[in-house]
Structure 1
Amino acid sequence: MDLDDTAALIVIDVQQGFDDPDYWGERDNPDAEANVGRLVTAWADASRPIVLVRHDSREPGSPLAAGTPGNALKPVVADAPHDLFVTKDVNSAFYGDPDLHAWLGERGIRQLVVCGIQTNQCVETTARMAGNLGYDVVLPIDATHTFEMAGPGGIRLTAAELARATAVNLDGGGFARVVATDDVLGG
């Protein structure tokens, strides 16, 4: 895959609190964190910009609440070199602190590779906003994971079904190119 030298890797919410199956339910893609790690290593080796994002939940009892052990980043990214660290309490990294869009604009960055947790929540929302803001967005779907979820009227979708829906929403909707990590890394 042909990526700009300035393409930024946006790593969304790879936090320890997502390791609580009692809270989140069944997850998909057990290789997500390893693929995130491969991307971070490749970006660091190429001296490309890396942005780490952390969700500081305001929901009572959330394993992602600020100041709790679950709020901490997972070891795969905890010590990763990065150029910007964004905290947020909503789904989109573009509504975090500091201002991601302004930071990218100041550096002339127009291409983003987005990965992390949860595929259909913060990853999809950030990718959709990035697409709407005019960025060229690439989403290696196997460097994301999510959890089963219930909706209206008792509808329940598995994590894999939600990930497939995200792939269709983003790629089919023109927000992002949905690919595999190997596509991004050229192997």
Structure 2
Amino acid sequence: MSRIDTPRHPIALLLIDAQQSFRARPYWTDTDAPAWLAATNRLITGCAARGIPVVQVFHTDGPDTPDNPFAHASGLIRPIDGLAPFETALRIEKHRHSALVGTGLGVWLHEHGVQRLIVAGIRTEQCCETTTRHASDEGWQVDYVTEATLTFDMQTPAGDTLTAAQLRERTETVLAGRFAAIRSVDEVLAQASGASGTP
């Protein structure tokens, strides 16, 4: 875990697993990536302009060998290509689906007075959703920015295909009003402007 001195702010952006590792996975497709990158970069830039700290979360697991894209030996534990450079308030590595498990993130958030989290990253229905549920149960308010999350088609146990769009809709359905508010980039930045006093 690495950190910089960060002013207290009631909101933090969690950028989850936006790392090059995923481009080495067989299910990777560029279909939705450009729109996701555009939305994510706009969210990061907007948060930075409002003084909102950005927490960068990387996922690592498995053997530390070059053929494992989630190992340091692969060289892929780095920001995904196309992600705009930004200053991180905190950088952590997780080994579970929730960014709050075994990372010290919860302590850091409490120390910095964070009450609301903005969630973005990869994958929509896995680490982003799991972190959202966990954070909500721990007492944080969560804004889930679906357009700034990325996922891929999956096979159901019955052998049917759920498209990335269907997975995003399913995640919004199960989170909305229970674990998070579903917001667009524009909506979350407009709300953040009120908290920070930045237009």
Task: Confirm or deny a common fold (TM above 0.5).
Answer: yes
Measure the CA separation in 2 of the matches of 1:16 and 1:143.
16
Aligned to 2:72: 66
Structure 1, unmatched stretches of 5+, are: none
Pick aligned residue for 1:50 from 19, 36, 54: 54
1:121 and 2:126 equivalent? yes
Aligned to 1:160: 165
Aligned to 2:91: 85
Identity of aligned residues (%): 35
Report the aligned-residue RMSD.
2.3
Q: Report the secondary structure of 1:63's partner residue.
A: coil
Measure the CA separation in 2 of the matches of 1:145 and 1:62.
21
Pick aligned residue for 2:156 from 136, 151, 155: 151
Q: Report the secondary structure of 1:147's partner residue.
A: coil
Q: Is the 8 A contact 2:41 2:84 kept in 1?
A: no
Aligned to 2:185: 181
Q: Is the 8 A contact 1:137 1:177 kept in 2?
A: yes
Q: Is the 8 A contact 1:14 1:116 kept in 2?
A: yes
- Hey, which bits of structure 1, 4+ residues long, moved more than 2 A? 25-30, 59-67, 75-79
Q: Report the secondary structure of 1:94's partner residue.
A: coil
Q: Is the 8 A contact 1:27 1:148 kept in 2?
A: no
Measure the CA separation in 2 of the matches of 1:49 and 1:152.
39
Aligned letter for 2:53? P
Measure the CA separation in 2 of the matches of 1:56 and 1:66.
8
Q: Which of the pair has more CA radius of gyration?
A: 2
Moved more, 45-54 or 29-38: 29-38
CA deviation after TM superposition for structure 1 residue 74, in Å: 1.8
Structure 2, unmatched stretches of 5+, are: 1-7, 191-198
Could you list the per-position Cα deviations for residues 6-38 of structure 1 after superposition, in whole angstroms to 9, with x for gaps in the alignment?
Answer: 200000011112224x61244663311221111
Relative to total residues, which structure has the larger helix share, 1 or 2?
A: 1
Task: Give the total of aligned pairs.
Answer: 181
